[in-house]
């Protein structure tokens, strides 16, 4: 066994981020009655799940895993989700936006409409139905200016709303997770991680990801300044021409609003170099849903978005 | 090996700092300038700041929009809550907590400063150090911040007057002495034009010190142990978070190590029970280890079958915390209802929560002259000294000796809101006097 440390060895930046995240996960699991871990199959939730498994090894997770499924998925991501959950032998709850549409809770935006914002209703309904009082998410503060303002344990009232003007004080590492009936917390153990930290950690730990994070060829169209992958929900509109390009995804979300980036990076090392030298932010390069207004993320978060 | 020779702080080239300053002195603009000039901002983020500035009619680029990301903040041109930003230069990594300056957001400022190694203070050189800056400096010092980098900002507005700069230096030197600050660097800057933030400027020939970035890159890191030297606790503290059950029997105790490393074979005491045992195994996130370094989330197995549960404290060989159900503490009160004697709250200390009673409110700290004034209640955003009794005993250290075992929060049992931040012992400022 070579994992034994000696006094001469040092802890690095990733070790501290890792331990801090594990500390938060254990603290919430201990203080809350019914936590759930939100898992989208993206890189951040893959890291989050990896950390949760470490936090409770050799035991099983003391909470279930939930995927909020917009129905507009990349096949590779669903295949990855199912194989990860199966190999861990953990519980997966799938909350489907389609069910919310069928139940008349939200209006179907149409065959090529974006379902990203609809997820909020599905998520909040699932939280209420399962009486979850805490939901772990993989959000990071470096993603967006509203997220940069959010606490690690972020309080949601009984309507699921975030009030950025009335956040709980959160001093030292005293994470305080008590809520009353109907309220819940969103817990962000990766708050202090950057996109680069995530990739360096994925490399160090050998964490598996959906193949679409690595360079591959794919038919895409240019729309709203983004490269969207052709699929059942994204078809060329008049005037749009599809092209076969070598691309990869920097983020994974609803397939109708998650763009690919032109990239030949097909190994982690190449992705790390690409990430370190990128001049465009992760969400700026890939997310149409943040482009509607100056405070799109804040507005969605106030309603109860991730 | 003598314990004093052990290197307790992991060497991580990471500096956490919080900004301090009064409204409109330019805190967020300094951070915006720092991030823009070190190219930490992505192009699309910068474009968004430019566009938002134009839309709101505040000129070509309002750098404060880099961190003031909330709608209400941009409407009013103020900072309401802490923004966390992450930056890296070839020399080190930074975690930046850009804190609000308004008195009504003191709780948010304390949130940002509670984990800081250093405070970046912004003073408007046209008007000098304001009361709000003194208040927040006082809170930062109480929280244990011992290093200050002070930006004498808006020097362009005073024609780069040496006298205006000297006034800020004199005020800050005097204040630093009373607050127990160990390292003070004052830099004449213009955040608006970028002088001496990242780029050295020739505008202030009387100044030959570092730029803000150079000072940040040179400041000692290492958090608590790095800045509190001889006073710190010298034995490991492991607040138990969770009990891990192993297949085939056996348990281990999960938590984060603080104070000093913990080793396999080390004699430990479990508090508050006072049970003794020996560490038989340590599991770190990287696998089994002989030693658990400070800052790591580990699980430890003990050689005896003891009754240990969440909230207990495993302490290594050496100085023990005090086990008590009554202690004096310094609290910062965050809520509109005044804090009075004989009121009941829940206290969260390390991983233990228990009912607590305010036995007495003893004094209020005057943030201007740093005197303790006898009072019988604390109002919102005031700092004071109280005596607390707890339903079950706590294993506490004086805050100056250990930031983890010396800190707590008070929680309103009806609303679950955190109403106070507390530090075990009298105000940290007065310790040395």
Break chain B into its structural domains and give their ranges: 9-228, 237-315, 322-427
Q: Please report the pLDDT score of residue B233 as a whole number.
A: 65
Average pLDDT over residues B213-217: 94
- Residue B157 banded pLDDT, cuts 50, 70, 90: very high
Residue A204 lies in a domain: no
- B350 band by pLDDT with thresholds 50, 70 and 90: very high
pLDDT at B76 over 80: no
3-state class (DSSP) for residue B343: coil
Is B84 touching A (CB cutoff 8 A)?
yes
Examine the domain organization and report whether A271 and A175 are in the same domain.
Answer: no
Q: Are residues A76 and A157 in the same domain?
A: yes
CATH number of residue A172's parent domain: 3.40.50.620
Q: Are residues A160 and A261 in the same domain?
A: no
Whole-number pLDDT of residue B380 = 93
The region of weakest confidence among A31-40, B339-348, B361-370, B417-426 is B361-370
Give pLDDT, residue B433.
41
Higher pLDDT, B410 or A96: B410
Cβ of B44 and A281 within 8 Å? yes
DSSP secondary structure string for all residues of B56-78: TTS-S--GGGGT--SHHHHHHTS
- The DSSP symbol for B13 reads -
Residue bearing the bigger pLDDT, A106 or B239: B239
Question: Are residues B287 and A3, on separate chains, in Cβ contact within 8 Å?
Answer: yes
Asked if the C-beta of B222 comes within 8 angstroms of chain A's C-beta atoms, the answer is: no
- pLDDT tier, B6 (very low <50, low <70, confident <90, very high otherwise): very low
Q: Identify whether residues A178 and A85 lie together within a single domain.
A: yes
Burial of A66 (0-12, 13-18, 19+ CB in 10 A): buried
In a domain, A40, yes or no: yes
Are residues A151 and A218 both part of a single domain? no
Q: Give residue for tokens 């080239």.
A: B13
- Same domain as A46, residue A73: yes
Residue B231 pLDDT level (bands cut at 50, 70, 90):
low
Give the number of domains in chain A: 2
Q: Is the pLDDT of residue A111 over 70?
A: no
- Say yes or no to pLDDT of B424 above 70: yes
Give yes or no for residue B44 having a pLDDT over 90.
no
Share of chain A above pLDDT 90, in %: 46
8 Å CB contact between B262 and B46: no
> Are the CB atoms for B67 and A148 separated by under 8 Å?
yes
Q: What is the mean pLDDT of residues B91-99?
A: 88
Residue B75 pLDDT greater than 90, yes or no: no
CA atoms within 13 A on the CB side of B298: 28
Count of Cβ atoms closer than 10 Å to residue A112 Cβ: 14
Whether B421 sits inside 8 A of A56 (CB atoms) is: no
Domain membership of residue A8 (yes or no) is no
pLDDT in tens, A196-229: 999 999 999 999 999 999 999 999 888 877 888 8
pLDDT at A112 over 70: no
In CATH terms, the fold of domain B9-228 is: Rossmann fold (3.40.50)
At A118-147, the pLDDT tens digits run 788 888 889 999 999 999 999 999 888 888
Specify whether domain B237-315 bears CATH 1.20.1050.10: no
**Distance (Å, rounded) from C-alpha B150 to C-alpha B34?**
14
Q: Give the residue-averaged pLDDT of A187-198.
A: 94
The pLDDT of A70-87, averaged and rounded, is 91
Closest residue of chain A to B111, computed from CA coordinates: A171
> Domain B322-427 belongs to what topology?
Elongation Factor Tu (Ef-tu); domain 3 (2.40.30)
Digit-coded pLDDT (tens) for A47-56? 999 999 999 9
pLDDT of residue A134: 96
Mean pLDDT, rounded, of chain B: 88
Within an 8 Å CB–CB cutoff, is residue B50 touching chain A? no
Please indicate whether residue A283 or residue B327 has the higher confidence score (pLDDT).
Answer: B327
Q: Are residues A161 and A186 in the same domain?
A: yes
- Judged by a CB distance cut-off of 8 A, whether residue B348 touches chain A is yes
Which structural domain range is residue A231 located in? Answer: 211-290
Q: Is there a single domain that holds both residue A250 and residue A154? A: no
| Whether B52 contacts A294, CB under 8 Å | yes
Residue A292: predicted pLDDT: 57
d(CA B30, CA B40): 14
pLDDT at residue B52 is higher than 90: no
The answer on A222 and A76 residing in a single domain is no
A192 to B254: CB separation less than 8 angstroms, yes or no: no
Angstroms from A150 CA to nearest CA on chain B: 8
Q: B41-50, B80-89, B271-280: which has the minimum mean pLDDT?
A: B41-50
Place of tokens 């305080």: A176
Rounded mean pLDDT of A68-97? 91
Residue in B with minimal Cα distance to A299: B71
- Is it the case that residue B227 has pLDDT exceeding 50? no
Asked whether residue A38 is assigned to any structural domain, the reply reads: yes
Q: What is the mean pLDDT of residues B332-355?
A: 96
Q: Is residue B11's pLDDT more than 80? A: no
Whether residues A26 and A126 fall in one domain:
yes
For chain B, positions 281-310, list CB contacts with chain A under 8 A: 284-291, 293, 295-297, 310
Report the chain A residue with the minimal C-alpha distance to residue B297: A19
Residues A90 and A53 in one domain: yes
> Does residue B400 contact residue B227 with C-beta atoms inside 8 Å?
no
Q: CA angle at residue B157 from B151 to B163, to 5 degrees?
A: 65
Taking the C-alpha atoms of residue B312 and residue B239, their distance in angstroms, rounded to an integer, is 6
- The answer to whether domain B9-228 and domain B322-427 are alike in fold is no
Residues A184 and A269 in one domain: no
Nearest to B395 by CA among B226, B281, B227, B235: B235
- Look at residue B177 and tell me whether its pLDDT is greater than 80: yes
HSE toward the beta carbon, residue A12, CA cutoff 13 A: 7
What pLDDT does residue B361 have?
97
Confidence of residue A36 (pLDDT cuts 50, 70, 90): very high
Is A203 within the bounds of a domain?
A: no
ipTM of this complex prediction, to 2 decimal places:
0.89
A295 contacts chain B (CB < 8 A): yes
């Amino acid at each position: 066994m070579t994992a034994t440390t000696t006094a001469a060895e040092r802890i690095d930046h990733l070790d501290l981020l890792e331990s801090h995240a594990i500390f938060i996960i254990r603290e919430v699991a201990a203080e809350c009655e019914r936590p759930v871990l939100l898992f989208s199959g993206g890189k951040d939730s893959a890291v989050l799940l990896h950390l949760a498994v470490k936090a409770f090894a050799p035991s099983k997770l003391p909470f279930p895993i939930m995927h909020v499924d917009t129905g507009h998925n990349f096949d590779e991501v669903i295949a990855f989700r199912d194989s990860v959950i199966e190999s861990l032998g953990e519980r997966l709850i799938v909350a489907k936006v389609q069910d919310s549409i069928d139940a008349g809770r939200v209006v179907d935006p149409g065959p090529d409409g974006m379902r990203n914002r609809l997820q909020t209703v599905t998520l909040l309904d699932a939280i209420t139905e399962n009486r979850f009082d805490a939901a772990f998410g993989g959000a990071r503060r470096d993603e967006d200016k509203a997220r940069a303002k959010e606490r690690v344990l972020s309080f949601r009232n009984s309507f699921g709303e975030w009030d950025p003007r009335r956040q709980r004080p959160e001093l030292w590492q005293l994470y305080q997770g008590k809520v009353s009936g109907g309220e819940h917390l969103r817990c962000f153990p990766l708050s202090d991680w950057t996109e680069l930290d995530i990739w360096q950690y994925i490399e160090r730990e050998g964490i598996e990801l959906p193949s679409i994070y690595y360079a591959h060829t794919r038919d895409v169209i240019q729309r709203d300044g983004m490269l969207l992958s052709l699929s059942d929900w994204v078809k060329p509109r008049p005037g749009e021409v599809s092209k076969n390009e070598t691309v990869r995804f920097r983020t994974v979300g609803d397939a109708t609003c998650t763009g690919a980036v032109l990239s030949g990076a097909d190994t982690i090392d190449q992705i790390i170099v690409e990430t370190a030298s990128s001049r465009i932010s992760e969400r700026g390069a890939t997310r149409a849903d943040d482009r509607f207004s100056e405070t799109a993320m804040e507005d969605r978060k106030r309603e109860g978005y991730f | 090996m003598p314990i004093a020779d052990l290197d307790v702080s992991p060497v991580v080239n990471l500096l956490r700092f919080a900004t301090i300053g009064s409204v409109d002195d330019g805190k967020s603009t300094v951070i915006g300038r720092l991030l823009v000039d070190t190219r930490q901002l992505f192009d699309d983020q910068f474009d968004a700041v430019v566009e938002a500035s134009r839309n709101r009619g505040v000129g070509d680029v309002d750098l404060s929009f880099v961190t003031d990301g909330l709608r209400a903040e941009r409407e009013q041109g103020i900072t309401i809550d802490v923004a966390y930003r992450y930056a890296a230069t070839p020399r080190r990594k930074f975690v930046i907590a850009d804190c609000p300056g308004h008195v009504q957001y003191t709780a948010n400022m304390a949130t940002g400063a509670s984990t800081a190694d250093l405070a970046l203070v912004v003073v408007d050189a046209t008007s000098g150090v304001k009361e709000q800056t003194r208040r927040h400096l006082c809170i930062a010092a109480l929280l244990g911040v011992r290093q200050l980098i002070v930006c004498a900002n808006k020097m362009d507005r005073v024609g780069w007057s040496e006298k205006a700069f000297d006034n800020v230096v004199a005020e800050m030197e005097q204040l630093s002495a009373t607050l127990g600050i160990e390292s003070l660097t004052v830099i004449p800057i213009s955040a608006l034009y970028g002088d001496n933030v990242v780029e050295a400027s020739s505008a202030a020939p009387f100044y030959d010190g570092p730029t803000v970035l150079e000072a940040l890159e040179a400041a000692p890191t290492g958090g608590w142990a790095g800045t509190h030297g001889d006073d710190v606790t010298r034995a490991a503290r492991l607040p138990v978070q969770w009990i891990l059950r192993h297949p085939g029997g056996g348990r281990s105790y999960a938590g984060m190590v603080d104070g000093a490393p913990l080793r396999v074979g080390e004699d430990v005491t479990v508090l508050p029970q006072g049970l003794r045992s020996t560490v038989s195994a340590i599991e770190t996130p990287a696998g089994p280890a002989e030693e658990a370094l400070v800052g790591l989330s580990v699980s430890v197995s003990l050689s005896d079958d003891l009754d240990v549960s969440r909230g207990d404290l495993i302490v290594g060989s050496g100085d023990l915390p005090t086990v008590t159900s009554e202690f004096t503490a310094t609290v910062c009160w965050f809520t509109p209802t005044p804090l009075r004697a004989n009121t009941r709250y829940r206290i969260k200390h390390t991983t233990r929560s228990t009912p607590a009673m305010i036995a007495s409110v003893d004094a209020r700290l005057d943030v201007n002259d740093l005197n303790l004034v006898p009072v019988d209640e604390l109002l919102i955003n005031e700092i004071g000294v109280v005596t607390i009794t707890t339903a079950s005993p706590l294993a506490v250290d004086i805050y100056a000796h250990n930031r983890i075992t010396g800190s707590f929060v008070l929680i309103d049992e009806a609303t679950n809101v955190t109403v106070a931040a507390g530090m075990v012992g009298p105000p940290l400022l007065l310790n040395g006097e």
